[in-house]
Amino acid sequence: MIYWNASTMSALTHSALRARGIMTSIPTDAGVATGRPNGGGADTATAVYHVNDREGRVSPHGEDLPGREILSRAGFSTEKYELFEIVNGKTGPEIPADTIHPVKPGDHFRATIRGTDYSSARA
């Protein structure tokens, strides 16, 4: 079977070859970047925020999430960890598990084990 990048061919050629079973598309860089095969279909792109050294995912435009969901998407549990926002490089106020907080791509948070000394200057 021959594999072609569909973005390099005209729509007419592509559909004619595909109808004859001669061609199958492969994912393009656009598909990898957007999370969609060959860049088409529903918008499933995500962006990254950070909790300690772990990544969490939100929509590219950001989302309003409860503290528990911010922790969960980065692989932490609210039973063991407390969540704090990083403000200007310093640990900011605690974000309670049930409080809704806006999360934008590139935001940074700190998760600490409940009841420990945070050992960091506060904002």
The full set of domains in the chain, from first to last, is: 2-39 (no CATH), 47-113 (3.10.20)
Angle at 107 between CA 114 and CA 71, to 5 degrees: 35
What pLDDT shows up at residue 5? Answer: 46
Query: Cα dist. 3→6, 30, 89 in Å?
Result: 9, 17, 48
Is the overall model pTM greater than 0.75, yes or no?
no
* CB of 56 closer than 8 Å to CB of 49: yes
User: pLDDT per residue over 95-104, tens digit each?
Assistant: 999 999 999 9
Q: Which residues of the chain have pLDDT under 70?
A: 1-44, 118-123
Phi, psi angles (nearest 5°) of residue 105: -55, 135
